[in-house]
Chain A
Amino acid sequence: MIKIKDLHKSYKMGSNSLHVLKGINFEVEEGELVAIMGSSGSGKSTLLNILGMLDLLDKGTYDLDGVPIKDLDETKAANYRNKFLGFVFQSFNLINYKTALENVTLPLYYQGFKRKEREEEALRYLDNVGLKEWATHLPSELSGGQKQRVAIARALVSKPKVLLADEPTGALDSKTSKEVMALIQKINKDGKTILIVTHEEDIAKMCSRIVRLKDGVIMEDKKNKMVKAI
């Protein structure tokens, strides 16, 4: 599903150049649930940004579902993101003046679906994350866990190939974290490829594979016996 070869990325910091990713080789099969771990500064967020086409790579190749991701301009990147990827963020990033349902319909709006289809589909996904009754509520009326579940529904509604989650439990307490992870495991069980960036060991243990980054290189990449969240 994801093929990365010899990936380099550096940032210009004034006159210095900061080499963040120093040759990453990395493949993810369909249906995997991968945790990317590392301390801050290890390059894990940069890697996720490049995977999510939110940032460009300097050197190397990146294939996503057999499509080479290169020569990205903003419009092309937006279309690929819409088609291939779903995002889940630490701070949920729901649009605060839209209801849960409207938030979930938004990716479909950008895919050009009709209004009625958008709403039916979004409602189905809200039901999947157990929030059908909360469809007409604003984000401010939802708890943190509920918000993250709405965000997950929004990430999945466009049927992406890969779900990218950046510290999805970072803003949640441990009980809610487990609930959200349980939902992610359920989605993974249904066949979705998922990458989670985290620095929490027990979250990583709930994944099927753990990749550890340090100073821009992969230190360790091993299968993991998935611990059930709940």
Chain B
Amino acid sequence: MFSRDRWLEIFDSIKKNKLRTFLSGFTVALGILIFVVLFGFGNGLDNTFDKFFTDDALNTMWVNAGRTTKPYMGYKANRRIEFDNKDLEDITNRFAFYIDGITPRISESGNIGYKLKSNNYSVRGVGPFHQKNEMTIMMQGRYINGLDVENKERNVVIGRLVKQDLFGDEDALGKFVSGGGRSWKVIGVFQDDGGDNEERIVYVPYTTLQLIQKNTDKLQQIIISYKPEIGYAGAVTFENQLKKYLKQKKFIDPTDPRGVFIRNIASELSRNDQFKSGLSSIILFVGIGTLLAGIIGISNIMVFVVKERTKELGIRKAIGATPSSIIGMILQEAIFITSISGYIGLITGIGILKLVGNTLEEDYYILDPYVDLNTAILATFLLIGFGAFAGYLPAKRAAKIKPIEALTDK
């Protein structure tokens, strides 16, 4: 393996048999290239899927109120349903078994200003648990807490871009911003992975927002995180029970499809998981298929190569080459060629993925296509291994053949 002469012999044979070398190398390089690119695209699709569903906590349901469509118990249809603080409390108590955290959300838009700068932002009145629901990451300071809600403090948590807009490089923490004719104390700055819009939000205690909205106790939306251990089935049960309870409480016809609407990520996720696993198996199937085609290709070429060299091997045997030196020479040459070309295929494939990687997101929903290097290397070794194996059998036969048979002209 490490003999310089053996290598020189191999280089000589490679140099003088360019077509043969090219054929076996090309097969392997192409096989690996296609495998890497396909697998990368597959992973890209996977990533797109993941991105859609990782911004918010996965064990979350949104409870929204709307208008009824059916008359019920003396109430006419098209009645507007609203939640209030009492509903929040009742849900919390009644479904304590399921609930991990609960928070209301009141959304509106407001003009927030600091010194001479001001801008319109979406303002959300929330409870402390909202941070976990939205997976809000604090960069500075803290989030809205229980005391803020209880005391209806005029505290505000601003998004990274809000801070950038209004404060620039200046430190925002502890400063006062104006909003709705009042001044609010900045207690925290957050970032969010959900994109720029999610960072142009201002959070305030929902009680404070209710207070300045003429002291109502209405809530637009209730967001609930359930305990992950209840699982998918538990989440669906919870959703059904909650819907039933709220319809009863708000006097809505149990058959009315509107009135109360619950969006449960668990059910969406399970649907998408099915789709995604279907996609993954297709990708796996295609990947394995490509690899298999590559293996068959390299095997064929190895058989052809050994067949073509039968006479040469017979000559070598007649002048004193041992069977093991013949098998060794063929295998070493095969492994050398497949390794080099496999590497070329690997690098080219990864290069293509890098090159087109960021241009495919919008049109093809392929985000950040990549191949796990281990997978790619495994595939390369698989091809090399099978190439060597495929070469070994005919090489062994060629080494066994009597020189006189290899040398007779036919």
Residues of A whose CB lies within 8 Å of any CB of B are: 49, 52, 54-55, 74-75, 78-79, 81-83, 86-87, 89-91, 93-95, 97-98, 102, 106-107, 109-111, 115, 154-155, 158
Kindly count the residue-residue contacts between A and B in the assembled complex, taking CB atoms under 8 Å apart.
73
Are A89 and B316 in contact, with the CB atoms below 8 A?
Answer: no
- A93-B311, A95-B312, A97-B16 in contact; A110/B320 too (CB < 8 A)? yes
User: Are A75's CB and B323's CB within 8 A?
Assistant: yes
Q: List 24 A-B contacts (CB under 8 A).
A: A54-B403, A55-B404, A74-B399, A74-B400, A75-B324, A78-B317, A81-B320, A87-B318, A89-B407, A90-B409, A91-B409, A93-B314, A93-B315, A97-B13, A107-B320, A109-B5, A110-B319, A110-B320, A110-B322, A111-B320, A115-B5, A154-B319, A155-B319, A158-B319
Contact residues in A for B320 (Cβ distance below 8 Å): 78-79, 81-83, 107, 110-111, 158
Residue of A nearest to B405 (CB): A54
Q: Which residue of A lies closest to B399 (CB)?
A: A74
Q: Is the CB of B9 within 8 A of A109?
A: yes
Partner of B325, one of A93, A110, A155, A158: A110
- Please name the residue on chain B nearest to A84 by beta carbon: B320
Whole-angstrom distance between the alpha carbons of A11 and B229 in the complex?
78
Residues of A within 8 A of B319 (CB): 81-82, 86-87, 106-107, 110, 154-155, 158
Report chain A residues within 8 Å CB of B316: 95, 106, 110
Q: Are A75 and B322 in contact (CB under 8 A)?
A: yes
Is the CB of B321 closer than 8 A to any CB of chain A? yes
- Enumerate chain A residues within 8 angstroms of B318, measured Cβ to Cβ: 52, 54, 81, 87, 89, 93
Complex formed: what's the CA distance from A75 to B322 in Å? 5
State the majority secondary structure of interface residues on A: helix
Instruction: Tell me whether B12 is interfacial, beta carbon within 8 Å.
Output: yes
Q: Are A78 and B322 in contact (CB under 8 A)?
A: yes
Interface readout for B8-41 with A: 1 if CB under 8 Å, 0 if not? Answer: 1100110011000000000000000000000000
Per-position binary interface string of chain B over residues 321-353, scored 1 when its CB falls under 8 Å from any chain A CB and 0 otherwise: 111110000000000000000000000000000
Docked CA distance A52–B404 (Å): 10
Q: Is the CB of A54 within 8 A of B311?
A: no
The digit string for B388-410, where 1 denotes a CB below 8 A from any CB of A, is: 00000000000110111001010
Q: With A and B bound together, what is the CA distance between A13 and B409 in angstroms? A: 21
Do A54 and B404 contact each other (CB < 8 Å), given the known contacts A107-B320, A111-B320? yes
User: Which residues of B come within 8 Å of A, CB atoms?
Assistant: 5, 8-9, 12-13, 16-17, 311-312, 314-325, 399-400, 402-404, 407, 409
Q: Residue among B9, B315, B318, B325 with the most chain A CB within 10 A?
A: B318
Cα(A78)–Cα(B318), bound, Å: 7
A74–B322 touching, CB < 8 Å: yes
Q: Closest A-chain residue to B317, C-beta based?
A: A78
**Chain B min CB distance to A153 (Å):** 12
Chain A residues in 8 Å Cβ range of B325 = 110
A91 near B323 with CB under 8 A, answer no
Q: Please name all residues of chain A whose beta carbon is closer than 8 Å to the beta carbon of B323 when the two chains form the complex.
A: 74-75, 78
A106 partner residues in chain B, CB cutoff 8 A = 316, 319
B47 to chain A, nearest CB (A): 50
* Given A79-B320, A89-B407: A115 and B8 interface contact (C-beta under 8 Å): yes
Q: A74-B400, A93-B311, A94-B315 are in contact. List 17 more A-B contacts (CB 8 A).
A: A49-B404, A52-B318, A78-B320, A78-B321, A78-B322, A81-B317, A81-B320, A82-B319, A82-B320, A87-B318, A87-B319, A89-B407, A95-B312, A98-B12, A106-B316, A110-B325, A111-B320
Residue of B nearest to A164 (CB): B318
Q: Which of B315, B402, B403, B404 contacts A95 (CB 8 A)?
A: B315
Residues of chain A contacted by B403 (CB below 8 angstroms):
54
Chain A min CB distance to B404 (Å): 4
